[in-house]
Amino acid sequence: MSDVQTPARRFSITPGDFAREYGVLTIIVILMVGLSLISDSFLTARNLLNIVNQSAPLAIIACALTLVIIGGGFDLSTGAIFGVASVAAGWIAVHVDPYTAIIAGPLIGFALGTLNGAIITGFGVHSFLVTLATSLVYRGIAILITGGALIPVRIAEFSWIGRGRIGMVNIAVVVLIIFMVIFMVLLNRTTFGRRVFAVGGNEEAAILSGIRTNLIKIVTFSLSGMAAGLAGVIAVSRISMASPQAGVGMEFEAIAAVILGGTSIMGGSGAIWRSVAGVLLMALIGNGFNILNVNPFFKDLTTGVIIVVAVALAASGRRSR
């Protein structure tokens, strides 16, 4: 019976399903073809690698944020955690040890993310409100660490992760690829990943199935915090400067990239690779506007319109099901 039904399912994909699954890739291809025809400097290895390298911190955050959103949560504190981890790593690199700083950034992010998850599940408050509040607290901590000043971090043992290269490829890009593969395996090939989908799809059913939903939620927020911390370390390493204002607005860019990738804002469905594709799409739009020397206002306008279309497609998909 299953042998008969499988081919039918295989060819039952609708244009709407295709748009939700591969729409972001389709737009990326169209953009790349268009920009290649307009500018000779676009389709070069140097420019393409630079786009991926510049996008690496945001893509790392988007990978972990995808787990949070699939699990039915929302994390508005990633930008603030990015800021705290940045200044903490910078301070440790200067005053303690640069290698310890590289490890400390993700660990600090992990701890702050775990605190988010513990408050959300412990008090039963929506993650939107909790992470909005903690983002203000974390931003204050970043200012306390630095006194509002910048921390110069010009140490070779620290800067390799953000500025070093293996051949033509930046180490930050290698870190992103490894991080993305680990999270894809975690989400699609482990019991934990299946439970994240279950919690986001129907939490009550997940509880009745014996899944410890609070624990799953806490872990997703912990991983989100860790990713923000790692991204903060890479950013500080790259520019050799830690700022308490680092990461302002980054949470919205990461959420936008995840939505562009087709992950349902209601939870229960999504994919890591599509979130990374969403980040690259936003980076391509920015790169294209820079090449064409267009007013940055139109870049935000274009990105916003694309996000609205992505959300509309997702909503139509839920209604059709």
pLDDT tens for each residue of 88-125: 999 999 999 999 999 999 999 999 999 999 999 999 99
Non-local (6+) Cβ contacts of 280 within 8 A are 28, 51, 52, 55, 59
Which of 64-73, 76-85, 211-220, 297-306 is the least confident region? 297-306
**Each residue of 11-41: pLDDT tens digit?**
566 666 676 677 788 889 988 998 899 888 8
Mean confidence (pLDDT) of the chain: 89
Average pLDDT in the 153-159 region? Answer: 92
Q: Is the dihedral of CA 197, 203, 205, 206 positive or negative?
A: positive
Residue closest to 62 by CA, chosen among 318, 309, 280, 311? 280
> Is the model's pLDDT at 270 over the cut of 70?
yes
Let me know: does 270 contact 255? Beta carbons within 8 Å: no
The pLDDT, as a whole number, for residue 141 is: 94
The pLDDT, as a whole number, for residue 20 is: 67
Which two tokens mark 207?
């509880």
Within a 10 A sphere around the Cβ of 164, how many other Cβ atoms? 14
The pLDDT, as a whole number, for residue 273 is: 94
Q: What are phi and psi of 306, to 5 degrees?
A: -65, -40
> Is the model's pLDDT at 207 over the cut of 50?
yes
The pLDDT, as a whole number, for residue 5 is: 42
> Is the model's pLDDT at 317 over the cut of 90?
no
**Each residue of 66-98: pLDDT tens digit?**
999 999 999 999 999 999 999 999 999 999 999
Distance, in Å, from the CA atom of 185 to the CA atom of 276, rounded to the nearest integer, reads 15
> Is the model's pLDDT at 139 over the cut of 80?
yes
Which two tokens mark 125?
């408050």
**Each residue of 223-248: pLDDT tens digit?**
999 999 999 999 999 999 999 999 99
The pLDDT, as a whole number, for residue 3 is: 40
Q: May I ask the CATH architecture of the domain 55-304? A: Orthogonal Bundle (1.10)
Element (H, E) at 234: helix 213-239
Which of 87-91, 179-183, 247-251 is the least confident region? 247-251
Distance, in Å, from the CA atom of 73 to the CA atom of 51, rounded to the nearest integer, reads 29
The pLDDT, as a whole number, for residue 16 is: 64
The pLDDT, as a whole number, for residue 9 is: 47
> Is the model's pLDDT at 7 over the cut of 60?
no
The pLDDT, as a whole number, for residue 320 is: 58
Residue closest to 88 by CA, chosen among 103, 72, 97, 101? 101
The pLDDT, as a whole number, for residue 6 is: 42
Percent of the chain with pLDDT over 70: 90
The pLDDT, as a whole number, for residue 13 is: 64
The pLDDT, as a whole number, for residue 314 is: 63
> Is the model's pLDDT at 219 over the cut of 60?
yes
